[in-house]
Amino acid sequence: MVGDQRGRARPSRVGTKYSQWTQEDMQRAIEACKTGMMTPSQAAKEHNVPRKTLTDRLQREVSQDCTKAGRKLALTPGQEKDLCRFIEYMAMRGFPLTVNQILMLAWCIDKVQGRKVFGASGPCEG
Contact between 94 and 88 under an 8 Å Cβ cutoff? The reply is no
pLDDT of 41: 92
pLDDT of 65: 61
Rounded CA separation 66/44 (Å): 17
Rounded CA separation 13/33 (Å): 28
Q: Answer whether 0.75 is exceeded by the pTM.
A: no
* 52 Cβ contact list (under 8 Å, min separation 6): none
Q: Would you call 33 helix, strand, or coil by DSSP?
A: helix
Helix 99-113 to helix 77-92 angle (10° resolution) is 140
Whether 11 has a pLDDT exceeding 70, the answer reads no
Question: How high does pLDDT run on average in the chain?
Answer: 80
